[in-house]
Chains A and B, each alone.
Chain A
Amino acid sequence: MSDRTDLERLLHEHFVTTADPRPRPGRLDAILAQTSETRPRRPWRIPLRADRGAAAPVISRRTVSPWLVVLLVLVTLLLVAGFLLSGGHRDLAVVLPISSAPTSSATPTLAARPTPMPSPRQSAAVPTSASWSSTASIPDKQERAPAVLLPDGTVLVVGRFSDRYDPRSGTWSSAGRIPAQGSATLLRNGKVLVAGGASAELYDPSTNTWSATGSMIVARRGQAATLLADGRVLVAGGVGAGGTYDFLASAEIYDPSSGTWSATGSMSDTRGQVGTCCLGALQATLLHDDTVLVEGGTGQVRRRGGSPRTLATAELYDPSSGTWSTTGSMTTARNGHTATLLADGRVLVVGGLSASAEIYDPRSKRGAPLAQRPFLVGGIRPPSWPTVGYLWPEVPKVTRSPPPSSLTRGARRGAQRTRCQPFGHCTPRSSSSTAGSWWRVAGPTHTWWTPPSSTTRDRGTENTVSRCLPRIRSWGDE
């Protein structure tokens, strides 16, 4: 044993005989699920030197970490200087409670349709203490079920079951059977349209009953749905009957007066959510000019093709002409984000597996400071999500991996180039012919996932409203 050669030989034999190359079952699937929703990031390479011996000077590309260090130091100094000059502490996020003002400004975040910004008088009533309190547990297991704020102040949650929550008494009651899982949209007549699969049904809160209505032309789930200004409902995208990756670009309109669906123009990109985990998470926002903004999601960019990926693109639907037009792309690809219409007509988009936020301005290509009034956004922080899903890289291991926000870094090529002051407004470096532009703003401290309209988490009997919406944040700026 004392001879080193013998020891090396024994070591080699020992390694060969004891090495266990058999991965655990399902490990490869978990890894591939984690990688399937992202794209390889672009390498940081800068020209460094000319190759010696080449006939003509050929600049080779080489990754140089010291350059990156210098660059990062400079960027950090600029950020700090900009922060100090702009007094940027004014738009830091503040955690606000939902429980102390359940019927005013807090509950609108539960609405499936993005609720307009409360008036200044209403916003003055926004609670300022930061606390949560539990309320009665939801009686049925609900998973990612859309919730709709009804005119009487109660909240309808429609998932695998239908339940109704009364914030005044803090109690739940059954809302009868649930015919189909899908999007839930509050109509002008006070009824709720639930559309999923090929079927659609109406819920009447006054009688607590369901009734069938016309079926959708294309069976879909996980679609974007919003109430149009004329009282009709736009449904766009989603996942079709062809399987998990059958993302749709088509859209259709529901007319409550006739109870029928009609096809309308299709989006440029297929757009939906992957699987059942994210039903209802695709966002559609009715803007002040009556057009509808749909952004992000998972799908295929038409001009690029290839496998589905998280999207940064956005499109506008014009109900008057029934057509879609592309608008500026977000600076970050997002899936499962929130979209909130602000009082000034702009749209705040937060999260979507990214701890960042940006604002869509439909009117101007120039950035402008945020409105002074605070508004509420909410969502579920991915690490708290207990489901080990194969559809998204949020398997438990991901909490030990780089943050999901880095997954979307590669999708920024289509983003508009901007020059931003930290925590301030931005100005574009180059003008774009497309109306509407996106502006990065200070993001939340955590990565957000799932809009508040998709509510509950499945934890057996432990479902509570507070668990459904673990964080509500108020966000202000000057």
Chain B
Amino acid sequence: MDRALVIRAQTGDHDAFAALAKGSLGRLTAVARLILRDTDAADDAVQETLVEAWRGIRALRDPERLAPWLHRLLVRACYDRFRRERRRRVTEIRVAPSAEPSTADEQRSVLVRDQLERGLARLHPEQRAALVLTYYLDLPLTEAAQILGIPVGTLKSRLHRSLDALRASIEADEREPARRKESLI
């Protein structure tokens, strides 16, 4: 289905591209938001990705590889967006549901989520991109490395460092809850 649509889009059929864009928009939006952690910037990156995809769709040699190609464009767009937004960086804080966790498990879950959010926020977007491609999209390392434009070995070391940094951040939060509360204030 997608293959036929891609081939049609490559001949200039905008309706076919619209169908492809509609099918990819949700996934791209989710990935961009996870990488950039800024809804506006992520939406901009997705828009740039799909516009660039339309312009360059004739360069896609294998129609079956549409999704990896889109992911590659998206990662580049996210990097560009991050560089441009860095000067006027505004931290976006996700508003959690207002209901208080009622059980100990739920409280633990909220705590872990908070720790992960905090740890992810401290990572560089390149590290978050590696984590998102690997642990959200569940892509094989070779494919994730291709999307990121880096060798597999580099991706492995990047994942290793990212997980180490994430773990260190979480453990630091667990050791010093009081300091964390102060920093929140």
Residue ranges of A at the interface with B (Cβ–Cβ < 8 Å): 1-2, 4, 7-8, 10-12, 14-24, 27-28, 30-32, 34-36, 38-45, 61, 63, 306-307, 393, 397, 400-402, 406-407
The 8 A CB mask of B159-185 against A (1 = contact, 0 = none) is 000010011001100100000000000
Query: B56: which A residues are within 8 A, CB to CB?
Result: 40-41, 43
B113 near A28 with CB under 8 A, answer: no
Binding site for A on B (CB under 8 A): 9-10, 12-15, 17-18, 21-22, 25-27, 29-31, 33-34, 39, 43-44, 46-48, 50-52, 54-59, 61, 84, 94, 112-113, 116-117, 131-132, 135-136, 138, 163, 166-167, 170-171, 174
Q: Are B14 and A23 neighbours in the complex by a CB distance under 8 Å?
A: no
Specify which of A7, A11, A15, A397 is in contact with B44 (CB 8 Å cutoff).
A397
Across the interface, do A19 and B48 meet the contact criterion of CB distance under 8 Å? no
Q: Which residues of chain B come closer than 8 Å to A41, judged between CB atoms?
A: 55-56, 58
Contact A1 B174 (CB under 8 A): yes
> A27 with B25: in contact, given A1-B174, A18-B113, A401-B51 (CB under 8 Å)?
yes
Q: Closest 7 interchain pairs by CB? A: A21-B26, A43-B59, A15-B136, A21-B30, A19-B30, A35-B54, A12-B135
CA distance A41 to B22 in the complex (A): 21
Least CB separation from B174: chain A residue: A1
Q: Are A40 and B25 in contact (CB under 8 A)?
A: no
Name the A residues within 8 Å of B13 (CB-CB).
Answer: 307
| Contact, CB under 8 Å: B51 / A22 | no
A16-B136 contact, Cβ under 8 Å, with A11-B166, A63-B59: yes
Residues of chain A with a CB closer than 8 A to B17's CB: 35
Cβ contacts under 8 Å, B48 to chain A:
397, 400-401
A61–B94 alpha-carbon span in the complex (Å):
47
Q: Report which of B21, B31, B135 forms a contact with A11, defined as CB distance below 8 A.
A: B135
A30-B47, A397-B47 given as contacts; is B167 within 8 A of A4 (CB)? yes
With the chains together, A19 CA to B117 CA distance in Å? 12
Q: Are B84 and A19 in contact (CB under 8 A)?
A: no
**Nearest A residue to B31, CB-CB:** A19
A44 CB to nearest chain B CB (Å): 8
- A14/B25 contact (C-beta < 8 A), A7-B166, A8-B163 known: no
Is the Cβ of A35 less than 8 Å from the Cβ of B59? Answer: no
Please state if B84 and A36 are interface contacts (CB–CB under 8 Å).
no
- Given contact pairs A7-B167, A35-B14, A22 touches B26 in the complex (Cβ within 8 A): yes
Contact between chains at A15 and B14 (CB < 8 Å): no
When A1-B170, A7-B167, A10-B112 are in contact, do A15 and B34 touch as well, CB less than 8 Å?
A: yes
Task: Tell which of B50, B116, B167 touches A14, judged by Cβ atoms closer than 8 Å.
Answer: B116
Of B14, B48, B57, B171, which is in contact with the most chain A CB atoms at under 10 Å from its CB? B14
Most buried by B among A4, A10, A11, A393: A11
Main SS at interface, chain B: helix
B55–A406 touching, CB < 8 Å: yes
Q: Are B18 and A2 in contact (CB under 8 A)?
A: no
Q: Is the CB of B29 within 8 A of A23?
A: yes
Residue of B nearest to A307 (CB): B14
Name A4's closest neighbour in chain B (CB-CB).
B163
Pull 17 A–B residue pairs with CB atoms less than 8 Å apart, ordered by A.
A1-B171, A4-B163, A10-B112, A15-B34, A23-B46, A28-B21, A32-B18, A35-B50, A40-B56, A41-B55, A41-B56, A45-B59, A306-B12, A307-B12, A397-B47, A400-B44, A402-B52
Which of A11, A35, A63 is close to B51, meaning CB atoms less than 8 Å apart? Answer: A35
Q: Which A residue's beta carbon lies closest to that of B42? A: A20
B59/A2 in contact, CB under 8 A: no
Is A22 touching B29 in the complex (CB atoms < 8 A)? yes
Q: Once the chains are docked, how many angstroms separate the CA of A397 from the CA of B40?
A: 11
Given contacts A15-B132, A40-B12, contact A10 B116 (CB under 8 A): yes
Q: With contacts A38-B55, A40-B10, A41-B56 known, what are 5 further pairs, Cβ within 8 A?
A: A24-B43, A28-B25, A31-B50, A40-B58, A43-B59
Report how far A101 CA is from B55 CA in the complex, Å: 44
| Closest residue of B by beta carbon distance from A395 | B47
Q: In the bound complex, how far is the Cα of B30 from the Cα of A1, in angstroms? A: 26
Q: Known contacts A20-B33, A40-B54, A406-B55; is A27 also within 8 Å of B43 by CB?
A: yes
Shortest Cβ distance from residue A24 to the other chain B in the assembled complex, whole angstroms: 6
Do B47 and A31 touch (CB < 8 A)? Answer: yes
When distances are taken between beta carbons in the complex, the residues of chain B under 8 Å from A39 are 12
For residue B33, which residues in chain A have a CB less than 8 angstroms away from its CB? 19-20
Q: How far is the CA of A19 from the CA of B116 in the complex (A)?
A: 13
